[in-house]
Structure 1
Amino acid sequence: MDIEKIKRERENWLKWKNIAPLREMLDALPDIKDVKVEIDDVIKIDADVTEKQREAVKEAAWAMRPWRKGPFELFGTFIDSEWRSFIKYNLLKPHFRLKDKRVADIGCNNGYYMFRMLAEKPAEIVGFDPSPLFKTQFDLINRYIKSDIVYELLGVEHLPYYGKKFDVIFCLGVIYHRSDPVNMLKGLKKGLNKNGEVFLDTFYIDGDEPVALCPAKTYSKIPNVHFVPTIPALKNWCVKAGFEKFEVLEKKPTTFEEQRKTEWITGESLSDFLDPNDPTKTVEGYPAPKRVYVKISL
Structure 2
Amino acid sequence: MDLDVLRQERRKWLTWKNIVPYQEAIQALPEYNDAEVSFGDVVDIHITNLSSEEAQQIRETALLMKPWRKGPFQINELFIDSEWQSQIKYNLLEPHFDLEGKVVGDIGCNNGYYLFRMLSQKPEKLIGFDPSAIYYSQFQFLDHFIKSDIVYELLGVEHVEFYEHKFDTLFCLGVLYHRSDPVAMLKSLYKGLNKGGELILDTFMIDGEEEMCLTPRDRYSKIPNIYFVPTVNALKNWCWRAGFESIEVLEIMKTDLTEQRKTEWIDTQSLEDFLDPNDPEKTVEGYPAPKRVYIKAIKAV
TM-score if structure 2 supplies the norm length? 0.98
Give me the identity figure in percent: 60
- 2:199 aligns with 198
- Matched AA of 1:24: E
Do residues 181 (structure 1) and 182 (structure 2) align? yes
Q: Which amino acid aligns with 1:198?
A: L
C-alpha distance in 2, partners of 1:279/1:27?
Answer: 44
Q: Residue by residue, what CA displacement relative to the aligned partner does 1:41-62 show, whole Å, maximum 9, x if unpaired?
A: 0001112200011011110000
State the SS of the aligned residue for 1:199: strand
Counterpart-to-counterpart distance in 2, 1:87 and 1:81:
13
Do 1:126 and 1:152's aligned partners in 2 also have CA atoms closer than 8 Å? Answer: yes
Say if 1:32 and 1:49, in contact at 8 Å, map to a contact too.
no
Give the SS at the match of 2:216: coil
Specify the SS of the correspondent of 2:22: helix
Find the counterpart in structure 1 of residue 264 from structure 2: 263
Say whether residues 1:41 and 2:41 are aligned partners.
yes
Aligned pair 1:218/2:219, yes or no? yes
Alignment check: 8 A CA contact 1:177 1:226 kept:
yes
CA distance in 1, matches of 2:56, 2:94: 34
Alignment of 1:1-298 (within 5 A): 1-47=1-47, 48-298=49-299
Amino acid of the structure 1 residue aligned with 2:29: L
The CA distance in 2 between the partners of 1:146 and 1:34, in whole Å, is 10
Q: What are the Cα deviations for residues 150-175 of structure 1, in whole angstroms up to 9, with x where unaligned?
A: 00000000111112100000000000
TM-fit CA distance, 1:74: 1.2
CA distance in 2, matches of 1:279, 1:241: 35
Give 1:33 shift: 3.6
How far apart, in 1, do the equivalents of 2:59 and 2:153 lie? 25
| CA distance in structure 1 between the aligned counterparts of 2:68 and 2:260, rounded to whole angstroms | 12
Deviation at 1:101, TM superposition (A): 0.4
Q: Compute the displacement of 1:266 (Å).
A: 2.0
Structure-1 separation of matches of 2:198 and 2:33: 39
AA in 1 matched with 2:53: K
State the alpha-carbon separation in 1 of the partners of residues 34 and 132 from structure 2. 31
User: d(CA) in 2 for partners of 1:74 and 1:63?
Assistant: 15
Q: Secondary structure at the match of 2:41?
A: coil
What letter matches 1:13 in structure 2?
W
Whole-Å separation in 1 of the counterparts to 2:153 and 2:4: 11
What is the RMSD of the two structures over their aligned residues, measured on CA atoms?
0.6
| 1:141-199 deviation digits (Å, cap 9, x = unpaired) | 00110000000000000111112100000000000000000000000001001111000
